Amino acid sequence: MRTLSREQVIGLAPDPAAAKAGQGQAARPKWAGLGQDEQAAWGECQGSGAVPYRCQVAADDYASRCSCPSRKSPCKHALGLLFLLSAGELPRAARPDWVAQWLEARADRAGQAAGTRPDGLPADPAAQLRRAAERDRKVDTGVAELRLWLADLARTGLAFAQGQPWDWWDRPARRMIDAQARGLAGQIRRMASIAASAGQSADWPERMLDRLGALHLLCEAWTRRDQLPGPTADALRARIGYTRTAEEVRASGDRVTDVWAVLGQRCTEDDNLRSLQQWLYGESSGLVVTYLAFAAGSQPLDPGLPAGQRTGATVVLYPGSRPARILLADRQTASRPLGALPGCDSWAAAMSQVADVLAVDPWADVLPLAVRSVTVLPGPAGTGGQEAGSRWLLRDAAGHAVPLSGPAEARWRLYAVSAGRPVDVAGEWDGFGFSPQAAGPAGAAGQLIA
């Protein structure tokens, strides 16, 4: 099966303790009957009991099953198996019966979930249309309510809204989820978190007004959705919360085969939901796309492409929001280290890319940008750039600069990598500051720094 890097295996672990325990299991003497083929890896691990644990991992999504009593998934045995795989220590072997049975059961379940009727015919097209119209009506109601709420907010002012408790924001957000407009709910919650962190950022009114404008524009656009150009209408539906299934995208999306450099990665954990976002820069296509994966509870999180490396892959583009979200259709097993980072030669050129994206998807918020040969201008010594008026800047060769934002650790790492000389950087632009994620000395190989 497709191999993984050690970092990716660590990324699959439900928590750091499990990753460590998994490394402890990655010793061949602990195992019997180790093997792998295209679809799975397996082995029997001697635990503390008399009967060894039978452990198996599927190749397509790294789902695992183990006979050990652990409730973590993947358990340490499955992780140990993956560590062995990443170290190239799993021999090719004939699949034992117990693995074959598990794979068959998985395939059956996947078939049922795909929505084909038992007789193998696709679902009724008229019923599908009916359901779509019903959903649009629900969103209509939600948008109408949201417009009233936004008008109230505009009347009473941002200062009043900032002082409101979480529930004041969360109630309309929950209403939008009921109205099947999850994207709108997310926008409201982002405003709530701007309000909550107002103490730490002096520019909160700007950021909140920016969100308010975007949200109002979403509502306006929804009421006039029939007049919008196709790509913008796709972006609108994606931003409101209409999703497409992977099957739909795989069937109709554009495909791009390229070598992709992963120049940024962000993992979040919220209640029971883990998510992963990666920025992929295409080497010959020049495309920049984003990979998103979610996993609830004990589901495995597909680790995407190896972060901070270059990997050949065919991706399928989702229609809608920009930069395009992708599916990984086919990825190569071998990865190479990053070379020199791609990028524009000036902030002006980078900002014109931003304008191009906004022309199609005016709701675009955080965008990936890469600029070459910029100089870090640190704030006053020791401030880390947090206090007002002591901002760190990133200046291009033409002398223009944007504020550096993001965590202080990434800023200092960028600064250390630069050693005071120009650097090539890739990172996220949110309309207010640039948060660096990968960097390297100008013209030399880059690395992830956040």
List contacts with another protein (CB under 8 A).
6-7, 10, 16, 20-21, 23-27, 46, 48, 150-152, 154-160, 205-206, 209-210, 212-214, 216-217, 220, 337, 347-348, 351, 354-355, 358-359, 362, 375-378, 381-382, 393, 395-396, 399-402, 409, 412-413, 415-417, 419-421, 431, 447, 449
For 251, phi then psi, to 5°, come to -75, -35
| CB distance 429 to 290 below 8 Å | no
d(CA 75, CA 208): 43
End-to-end Cα, the chain, rounded Å: 30
Amino acid sitting at position 85: L
For 428, phi then psi, to 5°, come to -110, 135
Specify the 3-state DSSP secondary structure of 321: coil
Nearer to another protein, 186 or 412 (CB): 412
Q: Least distance (Å) from another protein to the CB of residue 174?
A: 22
Nearer to another protein, 326 or 367 (CB): 367
Q: Least distance (Å) from another protein to the CB of residue 169?
A: 17
d(CA 412, CA 439): 12
Nearer to another protein, 180 or 278 (CB): 278
| CB distance 326 to 333 below 8 Å | no
Q: Which two tokens stand for residue 172?
A: 């309309």
How would you classify residue 443: left for phi > 0, otherwise alpha for psi between -120 and 50, otherwise beta? left
**Neighbour tally for 407: CB within 10 Å:** 12
Q: Least distance (Å) from another protein to the CB of residue 211?
A: 8
Nearer to another protein, 8 or 278 (CB): 8
Nearer to another protein, 99 or 423 (CB): 423
Nearer to another protein, 14 or 253 (CB): 14
Q: Least distance (Å) from another protein to the CB of residue 84?
A: 12
Q: Least distance (Å) from another protein to the CB of residue 189?
A: 18
Specify the 3-state DSSP secondary structure of 395: strand
| CB distance 331 to 2 below 8 Å | yes
Q: Least distance (Å) from another protein to the CB of residue 402?
A: 5
Q: Least distance (Å) from another protein to the CB of residue 129?
A: 32
Nearer to another protein, 93 or 233 (CB): 233
